Structure 1
Amino acid sequence: MRQIPVDTSGAMVMLAQAPQIKIANRQTGEIALDRETNAKLMTADVLFVRDGNAELVTVTVPETGVSGELDSGARVSLTGLIARPWENEFNGQKRHGIAFRAVAITQVA
C-alpha cells in the first residue's frame, strides 16, 4: 500500500477534538488495533492552517503515541505523519479517500 510522508513544518496544526478510541466494528463495539503492535488505535480531529486556508482532517494514532492531556484548540505536533490513499467497494458503490496516520501526537508548548 502506498504511504506518502506529510510535512507539516509550514503549517499551524491545532487539535480540534481530543483523541478518542477508534471503533473497528460499530455493531459489535470492537476496538481497532494496530496490526504490528496490537496497541489500541485512537482518532483525533486536527485543523491544518497554512497560507490562510484551513482543513480539518482525522488522524489515527496508536494509544501509546498520545502524550498526556491534549486540549481542544491547543497547537500539536504530529510525528511520522503519513497519508494513505484508499478505495473500496461496498454494496456496488465505490468509495475512496485519504487516511492519515501518525506515530505520535504531542502538545506544543
Structure 2
Amino acid sequence: MSKFTGALCAVAPAPRLANRETGQVRVDRDSGLTMYQVGVCLLAGTQAEVINVSVPGEPKGVTLGVPLEVRELRATPWENDGRHGIAFRATEVKPLSGSAPAPASGKGGAQ
C-alpha cells in the first residue's frame, strides 16, 4: 500500500457467497464473521486500479466514493481449474478519520 496515495470505495460492501445456488454466505474461519467484499479504487499519481478486497465483518460507514483506510492488505495468488488470479484480503476496511461521505444529490457546488 505504500506506493498508493489514496484509496476510495468504488463498489459498496456486499456479503461474499460461498454457494451461489443456495445463497449461503462465506464465513471467516477464525472469527466466525460473515465475509464481505469491497471494491477499492487504489490511487497512485495519475494511475488508478480497482481491486476487490475481502474483509471479515460488515465494514461500517463504507459507502460509494468515501476515502478508505485499508488495514493489513494481503495479496494471495490462486489457481483453480486452469483459471488464476490474485485474491486480496484485509483485516479491516473503514472510512478515513474525518472523511465525509459523497454528496447524495446533484445540488450545490459552483454555479
Same fold flag (TM > 0.5): yes
Q: Distance in 1 between matches of 2:46 and 2:55?
A: 27
Q: Structure 2: how far apart are the matches of 1:50 and 1:10?
A: 5
1-side partners of 2:70 and 2:89: how far apart? Answer: 9
Bigger Rg, which one: 2
1:103 aligns with 2:97: no
Deviations 1:9-31 (A, max 9, x none): 63210001211111111011110
Could you list the runs of 4 or more consecutive aligned residues of structure 1 that deviate by over 4 angstroms after TM superposition? none
Match of 1:25 among 4, 19, 31: 19
What is the percent sequence identity of the aligned residues?
32
Equivalent residue letter for 1:26:
R
TM-score by length of 1: 0.83
Secondary structure at 2:88's aligned position in 1? strand
| Contiguous gaps of at least 5 residues in structure 1 | 1-6
Deviation at 1:60, TM superposition (A): 0.2
Higher-RCO chain (CA-CA 8 Å, sequence separation at least 6): 1
Structure-2-length-normalised TM-score? 0.81
